Amino acid sequence: MKSLVIKNLKKYYGKGEQLTKAIDDISLEIEPQKFMAIVGTSGSGKTTLLNCMAGLNKPTSGHVYLECKDIYKLNDNELSKIRRREFGFIFQSFNLIPVLNIYDNIILPVNLDGKKEDEEYIMELVKSIGIEDQLKKYPNELSGGQQQRVAIARALSNKPSVIFADEPTGNLDSKTTEDVMNLLKTLIKKLNQTLVMITHDELIANQADRVVTIKDGKIISDISAYL
């Protein structure tokens, strides 16, 4: 499994009086195959940090190393290849494509990578997620919980090493949150994946192997659960 290391990461927005130090010198080693939760108050810099780690937002300075390779030293083409092949993304709003049916939504990352999906793997994934009867439907025909399950399947469709999730259960009720979390935890265990998840939900953070708390763009606490 690939290691992800963040070194002296800074992301500043604006200038002069408008300057916001969204990320202010963060270094982290993300342990492979573990579940790391990122918590902190609104505006503390969680999304900015996650997006910088995931190759979606270029930092002002600092480094993000995937297997010792600085991803922001790569050209755009190589960086998007890493995003497509190594990373999976789950967001609070499910971001499914309305004109594609569920199956095509799930295999979108694979298709964007110019590949043919591993049908056997996709069907196994879809079954374990419990959406095998929904594949011909369109996103607007599914409930929020079902749509988030589809988004999880989509994030896993290219067998990424790291899943980045930004409050994936933020729009779900507590029962659906529990189902979605159990599913995600089971899948990442089975597929030996790393999960980095932002959450406001203490119950979810308690399930993580490690909880990193951010305040004003800095790490103020970093606690590992020794299970």
Residues in contact with ligand ATP by the rule CB under 6 A = 13-14, 20, 22, 40, 42-48
169 binds Mg ion (CB under 5 A): no
Contacts of 159 (CB under 8 A, 6+ apart): 121, 191
Distance CA 138, CA 104 (A): 10
**Measured from the CB of residue 110, what is the shortest distance to ligand ATP in angstroms?**
29
The binder of 59, among Mg ion, ligand ATP, none, by C-beta within 5 to 8 A per type, is none
**Measured from the CB of residue 87, what is the shortest distance to Mg ion in angstroms?**
18
Cβ proximity to ligand ATP: between 106 and 212 the closer is: 212
- Record the tokens describing residue 23, joined without a space: 């990320």
Binding-site size, Mg ion (CB under 5 A): 1
Q: How far from each other are the two terminal CA atoms of the chain, in whole angstroms?
A: 21
**Measured from the CB of residue 185, what is the shortest distance to ligand ATP in angstroms?**
22
47 binds Mg ion (CB under 5 A): yes
DSSP 87-108: EEEEESS----TTS-HHHHHTH
Distance CA 64, CA 162 (A): 13
Cβ proximity to Mg ion: between 4 and 22 the closer is: 22
Cβ proximity to ligand ATP: between 42 and 77 the closer is: 42
Cβ proximity to Mg ion: between 47 and 169 the closer is: 47
Specify the 3-state DSSP secondary structure of 75. Answer: coil
Distance CA 129, CA 190 (A): 13
User: Under the rule (CB under 5 A), what is the footprint of Mg ion?
Assistant: 47
